[in-house]
Amino acid sequence: MCYCAALPALDTATRIVILQHPRERDMPIGTARMATLALPRAELHVGIDWSAHAPLAAALADPERPPILLYPGPGARDILAEPPAGPVTLVVVDGTWSQARSVIRDNPILRALPRYAFAPPEPSQYRIRREPSAECVSTIEALMHVLGVLERDPPRFRALLAPLHAMIDAHLAHRGATSGGPRPRRRLRPRPRGPRLPAALAERWPSVVCVIGEANAWPYRERGDGGGGDELVHWLAHRPATGESFHALCAPEQPLSPSTAFHTELPGATLLAAPPRADLLAGFARFVRPDDVVVAWGHYGPNLFVAAGGALPDRLDARSLAQRLANKKLGSLEAYAATLALPPARTPWLPGRGGRRLAALVHVVESWLKNG
């Protein structure tokens, strides 16, 4: 249904940046796009990894509007009781609570922002969706409460609820009108289908480089106040078009976690005796080319490499692409690779768990290319 007639146009001194999880992009009853249509100073970006996102970096560097993050947690200030004094850049993560939690956890650039939260002064009016708890509200409702305080005019921003009410009322009216009997059958026109594979795979195949990163990772509860995050200890890469491979170990700079040898399937003594991290970075810099496309399963491996001081060219998240192709949430890389037919599955040719996972990733991208 169309809610355009109910959309207000609310100008703000606040700059609003909505970071939407990719799985929320196709939700038909999501409210992030509704909010951006009603707020001229709002911008919507879709993704998970924000470490090298130029538009977000520019927004966070706005000297006239310092950034704040709307997300609950330890140290978060109550924005309704203690709002910032001047104009700000308000960063909001749009997604389920688990999606938002993973985005914050995996993006140091977001964790470093001053954090604000609030307890909704009224229940959510999103009657067609069950929130996980009474204190949860939709994205547009959160913006209504927060912008009312930041702009010192709460009544004006209640207009943000108008398109939400229009969508909900039309949905409930349609559901009530069609619940009394069988729905009439309607002939559907076939949807035009675009290319299933991104151009980065189909057109730049000679430049595709599959990568896997393995870490020395301490459990969060055992890191202590001075403990760092996960650190790169094994980096593997393969260029399917030419058969070239790269892999290198680097000695951990933190104490070796007792579980690292088990998870990487490499002896702890081998990891401790490995060359320094700078050697690994220099070796991969000689292997990779500026026009390459780095393909990884998720963002963990590339984030490890960048956090170690490395630089990567264009990236492609194979896990996100696989989930869109399958239209469902997937399990592990190895489990997904086992479901793909042709060409024959790759056998590991590099050591450790990283070698096995790299073989699975190469099998995935080769199967995609083979099957179109």
Tell me the pLDDT tens digit for each residue of 281-314: 999 999 999 999 999 999 999 999 999 999 998 8
User: What Å distances lie between residue 268 and 249, 257, 273, CA to CA?
Assistant: 12, 9, 9
- pLDDT, residue 225, reads 39
| pLDDT of residue 366 exceeding 60 | yes
Is it the case that residue 211 has pLDDT exceeding 70? yes
- Let me know whether 149 and 257 are in one domain: no
* Residues 207 and 355 occupy one common structural domain: yes
Same domain, 29 and 118: yes
Statement: residue 132 has pLDDT above 70: no
What integer pLDDT is reported at residue 326 of this predicted model?
82
pLDDT of residue 193: 56
Please state the domain count of the chain: 2
What percentage of the chain exceeds 70 in pLDDT? 87
Which run of H or of E encompasses 92? strand 89-94
Q: Is residue 161 part of a domain?
A: yes
Give the CATH number, domain containing residue 161: 3.40.1280
Same domain, 159 and 80: yes
**Statement to judge: residues 328 and 216 lie in one domain:** yes
Query: Hey, which of 21-30, 189-198, 260-269, 337-346 has the most confident mean pLDDT?
Result: 260-269
Residue 111 and residue 220 in one domain:
no
Task: State yes or no: pLDDT of 191 exceeds 60.
Answer: no
Are the C-beta atoms of residues 190 and 173 closer than 8 Å to each other? no
| pLDDT for 227 | 46
Structural domain contains residue 186: no
Using one digit for the tens of pLDDT, what is the confidence trace for 141-182?
999 999 999 999 999 999 999 998 888 888 788 776 665 555
Q: In this structure, what CATH number is given to the domain that contains residue 256?
A: 3.30.420.10
What pLDDT was estimated at residue 224?
Answer: 45
Least trusted range by pLDDT, from 89-98, 127-136, 289-298: 127-136
More confident residue, 263 or 129: 263
Residues with Cβ within 8 Å of 336's Cβ and at least 6 positions away in sequence, in order, are 322, 326, 330, 360, 364
Distance CA 321, CA 340 (A): 14
Q: Is the dihedral of CA 98, 79, 51, 26 positive or negative?
A: positive
Pairing label, strands 244-249, 231-239: antiparallel
81 and 138 within one domain:
yes
Confidence of residue 79 (pLDDT cuts 50, 70, 90): very high
* Residues 156 and 59 grouped into a single domain: yes
CB 26 within 8 A of CB 100: no
Half-sphere exposure of 139 (CA within 13 A, CB side): 29
For residue 29, what pLDDT is reported? Answer: 75
- For residues 158 and 228, state if they share a domain: no
End-to-end CA distance of the chain: 34
Same domain, 166 and 260: no
- For residues 141 and 277, state if they share a domain: no
The whole-number average pLDDT for the span 332-353 is 85
Range of the domain at 329: 199-371
Average pLDDT score over residue span 220-241: 75
